[in-house]
Structure 1
Amino acid sequence: MKKREYPKTVFRKKIIKGIFWTGFFSVLFLSVVAIVRVGNAGTSQAEAEPMHEEVKKEENLAVSEGAQSFAQNFATQYFNWQNTDAGKKDRVKRLKLYLATGLDEQAGLGFEGMQWNSSLSKSQVWNVEETGKDTALITLRVQHMLKKITHPDPKVVKDAKKAKKEPPKAKEETIGPFEKYFVVPVKTDGQSFVVYEIPYFIAAPKKPEIVVNTTVDQTDKVNDLVLQQEVLSFLHTFLKVYTTGTQEELSYYTQDNLLPSMSGIMTFQEIKNLLIKKGDHQNTYQIFITAVFQENQSKAQVVYPYKLTIVKKEGRWFVKEMKNQ
């Protein structure tokens, strides 16, 4: 049978269709392969990422605010005692709630030779030092009072009664407050706290040798006497309103109502020193003054150094910024 021959145009169309579908399926196959590879790579990366994650450090509750409150509460019980048999037993009972099992029941305090009773006046957390994953040393600054009652000689009392005289009374004596620095070793189980070692006293920290420079750089100092008089007059008015005026009145002299009124707290008296320096912008100046005030309740005089930034706009002065030096 003679093979059928197609016209050239039909033959070309068949070749084009064949090339198109071959290319289409090739692209489809390659796309599927690429998607599978990306998916596998993502899975492998996701599985590998946990291996590289940093282990987060668990919070040590022994340095938390809760531990600090615990240490202060413990100090309240530690520094409160009565030098009697009943008082000693009561202290043991109170301290038991704070002390780790096996620790000395009086937390290291001995009563031999004791003459005074004690009560805590106040405590303040001074320092917190982490010593382990669940331990810390919490240093408190404490103040406590000492009190004792001296009973009269029984023989003297007996003789007074015998002579029908008023017997002498017990004498009460109080001294203090005494300031101490007290270290409380704290340990946690993640839920609560105990004192796990005997607490102890340490020496008071020494005052740091820090020297304050109170001098003001005189660079760009303005020596214009007219300007100085104008600024001084404005500052007297401003400071008087600052300490006696209402908030609305004060806002008239400031930009953006930046200062709260000090009315009822202190009253302006005088300006002792004045230094004017050029500011960063036109008609802006930095002002350094020493101002004297009177505290309203005690009538005590207080002297404060200030740095002000003032600006002149449309013939009026405004305080742009005011800081205690």
Structure 2
Amino acid sequence: MKIKIERKEKPDKPKKQKQIPTIKVGTHKKLTIALWVLLIGSMSFGIYKNFTAIDIHTVHEKEIIEKQVVDTNSIESFVESFSNEYFSWQQSQDSQTNRNERLKNYLTENLQQLNTEMVRSDIPTSSIVNSFQVWGVTQNNENAYDVLFSVGQQITEGENKKNITSTYSVTVYVDETGNMVIIKNPTINSKPQKSNYEPVLSDSDGTVDAVTTEEINSFLDTFFKLYPTATEKELSYYVSNQALDVINKDYVFVELVNSVCTQADNQVTVLVTVKYLDKETKVTQLSQFKLILQKNENWVIIKNN
């Protein structure tokens, strides 16, 4: 008897997988903390900048020049005093010498020399100043002022006398202490002339009807009869806001001339000429008013422009 012996094949042993070499990295605790601190700091700074951000705008600077009011009374007085000396002379040598000495109080040394022969020793005329008028004072730099003025003279030559008026400009230097000296000789000039300007005359624009116009004229007629001699208490019935002052004049009311009324909202503007007779001078006095009236219970003058 044969015995069959079966052999079981042994299963293959699993192959060992090759292990992938790894490098173990430590936590590097200090570096990590530093990075977190940097991150948190960056975020905090960003948030701070967001809340405190300043908008950048282009700034356009405007230069504001404030005009200063300069008191020129002393300059005008200085030029007037100078003119009385400069434009006056006599024929005698002594008076001419004295004149030159007095001019030293006004002129620079250079101008003193320039004017030495202004009045000749044989001059046939004499002069006195009888009028003086300043037309304008203009500051041409920090310490120098141009003065435009007219001077009237009575010129005598023998038995003949005549009055003349001439216009000049001079330049006055004023130092820090207020002392003055003339640095430009009187130079011929022209005085301001009459302007051709004519204001546009106002006409009624139809905003005030005929009945209201008559009512206003009646009110003004009554008021201006009283006005010259009215007391403050009497004015208060016709005037508010102290629009007109007490004048206490001896005027006799004659009439209203060229009354023109225009209305805006509840106020009426009246342009009117008031004719009075001045009992002291005996002349006709013509006063022009621009009044703003308002009606509450009665008409009242609330403003005088």
The 1:234–1:80 alpha-carbon spacing in structure 2 relative to 1, beyond 3 Å, is: same
1:71 aligned to which of 79, 82, 104: 79
Equivalent pair of 1:108/1:198 in contact (CA under 8 Å): no
TM-score between the two structures when normalised by the length of structure 2? 0.67
Equivalent pair of 1:76/1:120 in contact (CA under 8 Å): yes
Please state if 1:308 is matched with 2:263: no
Q: In structure 1, what is the Cα distance between the partners aligned to 2:265 and 2:128?
A: 58
Q: In structure 2, what is the Cα distance between the partners aligned to 1:294 and 1:313?
A: 32
AA aligned to 2:150 is R
Task: Tell me the equivalent position of 1:296.
Answer: 279
Task: Tell me the equivalent position of 2:102.
Answer: 94
The 1:274–1:174 alpha-carbon spacing in structure 2 relative to 1, beyond 3 Å, is: same
AA aligned to 1:147 is T
AA aligned to 2:274 is A
1:286 aligned to which of 262, 266, 269: 269
AA aligned to 2:276 is F
Task: Tell me the equivalent position of 1:253.
Answer: 238
Structure 1 residue 189: Cα displacement: 4.3
AA aligned to 2:190 is A
Structure 1 residue 190: Cα displacement: 3.2
Q: Secondary structure at the match of 2:194?
A: coil
RMSD value over aligned CA atoms?
A: 3.3
Q: In structure 2, what is the Cα distance between the partners aligned to 1:107 and 1:64?
A: 29
1:82 aligned to which of 82, 85, 90: 90
Task: Tell me the equivalent position of 1:141.
Answer: 150
1:262 aligned to which of 208, 231, 247: 247
Unaligned runs of 5+ in 1: 1-53, 151-170
Cα-to-partner distance string for 1:15-37 (whole Å, 9 max, x where unaligned): xxxxxxxxxxxxxxxxxxxxxxx
For this pair of structures, how many residues does the alignment match? 240
1:114 aligned to which of 123, 128, 131: 123
Task: Tell me the equivalent position of 1:231.
Answer: 216
Q: Following superposition of structure 1 onto structure 2, how do residues 115-194 of structure 1 map, counting pairs within 5 Å?
A: 115-148=124-157, 150=158, 171=159, 173-176=160-163, 178-191=164-177, 192-194=179-181
Q: Secondary structure at the match of 2:216?
A: helix
Structure 1 residue 131: Cα displacement: 4.4
The 1:234–1:107 alpha-carbon spacing in structure 2 relative to 1, beyond 3 Å, is: farther
The 1:81–1:110 alpha-carbon spacing in structure 2 relative to 1, beyond 3 Å, is: closer
Q: In structure 2, what is the Cα distance between the partners aligned to 1:110 and 1:257?
A: 59
Q: In structure 1, what is the Cα distance between the partners aligned to 2:72 and 2:294?
A: 48
Equivalent pair of 2:89/2:119 in contact (CA under 8 Å): no
2:186 aligned to which of 177, 199, 211: 199
Identical aligned pairs, as a percentage? Answer: 24
Q: In structure 2, what is the Cα distance between the partners aligned to 1:108 and 1:137?
A: 25
Unaligned runs of 5+ in 2: 1-62
The 1:251–1:109 alpha-carbon spacing in structure 2 relative to 1, beyond 3 Å, is: farther
The 1:64–1:257 alpha-carbon spacing in structure 2 relative to 1, beyond 3 Å, is: closer
More helix by share: 1
Q: In structure 2, what is the Cα distance between the partners aligned to 1:247 and 1:108?
A: 64
Cα-to-partner distance string for 1:208-235 (whole Å, 9 max, x where unaligned): 332222x21432432233x333222211
Q: Secondary structure at the match of 1:196?
A: strand
The 1:264–1:85 alpha-carbon spacing in structure 2 relative to 1, beyond 3 Å, is: same
Structure 1 residue 143: Cα displacement: 1.9
The 1:127–1:218 alpha-carbon spacing in structure 2 relative to 1, beyond 3 Å, is: same
